[in-house]
Amino acid sequence: MAADQTHYGPNTTLGVQQLFIGGRYRPGTAEISFENLNPATNHVICEVEMASAEDVEAAVEAAQEAFLIWSATPARERAKVLLRAAAILRERNRELARLETLDTGKPIAETAEVDVITGAEMLEYYAGLAPAIHGEHHDFGPDAFAMVRREPLGVCAGIGAWNYPIQIALWKSAPALACGNTMIFKPAELTPVSALKLAEIYLEAGLPPGAFNVVQGDGRVGQLLSRHPGIAKISLTGEVGTGRKVMADAAQTLKGVTLELGGKSPLIVFDDADFDGAVDAAMSANFYSAGEVCSNGTRVFVQRRIYRRFLESLEDKVARIPLGDPFDPATRIGALISAGHLEKVMGHIEAARRSNALHVVGGHRPEDPALAAGNFVHPAVFAECTDDMSFVRDEIFGPVMAVLPFEEEHEVVARANHTPFGLAGAVFTTDFARAHRVANALQAGTVWINDYNVTPPEVPFGGHKQSGVGRENGLETIGHFTQTKTIYANLGRVAPYF
């Protein structure tokens, strides 16, 4: 490995990336490897070796063996290992953030503050809960009692999306490991690198070899996990269509599933809102991570009285957002994950231009020749949108904001809920009662009042309707990574019947 890893930069290339099984790197034996590209330049960062069915089998066996050790490790000891891993993540934040920027194209201003740190926070949160995981005792008089034990599930699999690679790996592995399970994690094929670093860090922190394994590959490898009889639970972060496939595959062996899927969330601004705060929140909720955030508030409903002023403020501020080299600390819009994804986003922008929507700002590729090879597009705002426009209905997963005027509360709530998605939403108003009326009425797993995309470890995150199944984070997730066993004890004689 290079001497100083903190200097990952725009021209970094890495050696062949393999699998991490049983506490060590191992080659993928599928005889297929794929290129991993730098989104800001489309240069090859590295080759990645695809896992075969035999590799998945080896990972399951390693995880099963590790489970015997890890599930028998007292919770306070498990917590110490997770806390050591969190400390290492924090120490290596700069290096890991630069690696994530290299792999995702996201600005270092984001990855250095959010991606690794929110993962470490999740580890610290579940390490704190591990010793508190307990069962129940029920007294049925002098001749009987019952205990309810809360036990780990066994080998769990995590399948990640490409927008927050190490964070997603940590949001899935932290609760799984805290509960005494072991994990096989498959990163998205577009961002295969940081999960391997996490595997190294877990081992350094004292996790038994095989307790956290990484297999590389695309949906085919994901499907091997969803179908494997030795895996007790699948946790996926990905598109709705993928969620349906994973759930169908998992059904064959009755696995538990957690599905964190897509969204097209409403962000509602009433005319009594903190005006500048609402504008800033709408921009963050659409353009942070270049819009590649599932919970983004991409349908911005603005009450008629402030609508014109809102658009003027957006036009002025959005045009000035710095776009460019993700390694430049001043950059706020980096590159989209791939040329294919850029093409998809540009298709939605073209559809918006052809519609009757009003183009307010952005949506064009940068002129700077230094950026021509990368997947860059200036953030776009369209107004005078109607609910039936394709780019208003469909998830774009790019920097495209749709602004829709509205008149009344009951109207905007009905329109906001008129979607198959239900991941998140927000309401901006200084009217306390109205804030709670609207928050209660929105059909979404998370609703922010006068803020957006704040997801502390303590509260559950996940979707209503087609945006997902189950939750991540919060106390509830302990229930998704454990199962109960009732032990009934008879202290007297068996009552004769026949």
Piece of 55-63, 216-224, 311-319, 477-485 that binds ligand TXE (CB under 6 A): 216-224
Say whether residue 100 binds ligand TXE (CB under 6 A).
Answer: no
Q: Please state, in angstroms and as integers, the Cα–Cα distance from residue 30 to each residue in 14, 50, 223, 365, 453, following that order.
A: 21, 6, 15, 38, 39
3-class DSSP state of 391: helix
- CA separation for the pair 238, 457 (Å, rounded): 20
Name the minimum Å distance from CB 322 to ligand TXE: 24
Least distance CB 169 / ligand TXE (angstroms): 11
**At closest approach, how far in Å is the CB of 468 from ligand TXE?**
6
Q: What is the DSSP letter of 54?
A: H
The catalytic residues are 260
Q: Which is nearer to ligand TXE, 32 or 87 (CB)?
A: 32
Q: Which stretch binds ligand TXE (CB under 6 A): 69-77, 92-100, 222-230, 319-327?
A: 222-230
Looking at 45-53, 234-242, 353-361, 475-483, which segment touches ligand TXE (CB under 6 A)? 234-242
Tell me how far CA of residue 204 lies from CA of 89, 130, 131, in angstroms.
11, 20, 22
Q: Where are the alpha helices (DSSP H) in 136-295?
A: 165-178, 194-205, 219-227, 240-251, 275-287
Strand, helix or coil at 122?
helix
Please name the residue that has the structure tokens 């540009």.
346
Q: Does 239 bind ligand TXE (CB under 6 A)?
A: yes
The correct pick among 28, 107, 152, 160 for binding ligand TXE (CB under 6 A) is: 160
Sole window of 50-58, 126-134, 237-245, 482-490 interacting with ligand TXE (rule: CB under 6 A) = 237-245
Q: Which stretch binds ligand TXE (CB under 6 A): 26-34, 46-54, 77-85, 255-263?
A: 255-263
* 226 or 477: CB nearest ligand TXE: 226
Q: Please check whether residue 228 is in contact with residue 153, taking contact to mean a CB–CB distance below 8 angstroms.
A: no
Tell me which of 105, 180, 262, 326 binds ligand TXE, using CB under 6 A: 262
* Residue 188 binds ligand TXE (CB under 6 A): yes
- Measuring CA to CA, which residue among 9, 36, 89 is closest to residue 329? 9
- The answer to whether the beta carbons of residues 194 and 169 sit under 8 Å apart is yes
Quick one: which of 361, 395, 425, 426 contacts ligand TXE (CB under 6 A)? 395
Chain residues 189-208 in contact with ligand TXE, contact rule CB under 6 A: 189
Query: Which residues between 306 and 365 bind ligand TXE (CB under 6 A)?
Result: none
Q: Is the dihedral of CA 3, 9, 15, 20 positive or negative?
A: positive
Candidates 154, 162, 161, 185; CA nearest to 172 is 185
Q: Which is nearer to ligand TXE, 124 or 260 (CB)?
A: 260
Write the binding mask 118 to 157 for ligand TXE: x where contact by CB under 6 A, - elsewhere.
Answer: ----------------------------------------
Q: Which residue is nearest to ligand TXE (CB)?
A: 222
Interface positions, 2-41, toward ligand TXE (CB under 6 A): none
Which two structure tokens, joined as six digits, stand for 104?
């995702």
From 9-17, 158-166, 310-318, 401-409, span contacting ligand TXE (CB under 6 A): 158-166
Per CB under 6 A, 223 contacts ligand TXE: yes
Angle between helices 93-104 and 165-178 (to 10 degrees): 120
In angstroms, what is the minimal distance from the CB of 202 to ligand TXE? 20
Of 186 and 299, the one with the shorter C-beta distance to ligand TXE is 186
- 347's CB contacts (< 8 A; 6+ apart) are none
- Judge residue 340's burial from the number of C-beta atoms within 10 Å of its C-beta, 0-12 exposed, 13-18 middle, 19 or more buried: exposed
Cα-based distances in Å from 71 to 67, 68, 202, 208: 5, 6, 16, 11
Residues composing the chain: 498
Coil vs helix vs strand at 332? coil
Map residue 39 onto helix, strand or coil: coil
Task: Specify the residue, 167 or 303, whose C-beta has the smaller distance to ligand TXE.
Answer: 167
Q: Which two tokens stand for residue 128?
A: 């704190």
Contact positions vs ligand TXE (CB under 6 A): 159-163, 186, 188-189, 218-219, 222-223, 226, 236-239, 242, 245-246, 260-262, 294, 395, 397, 423, 468
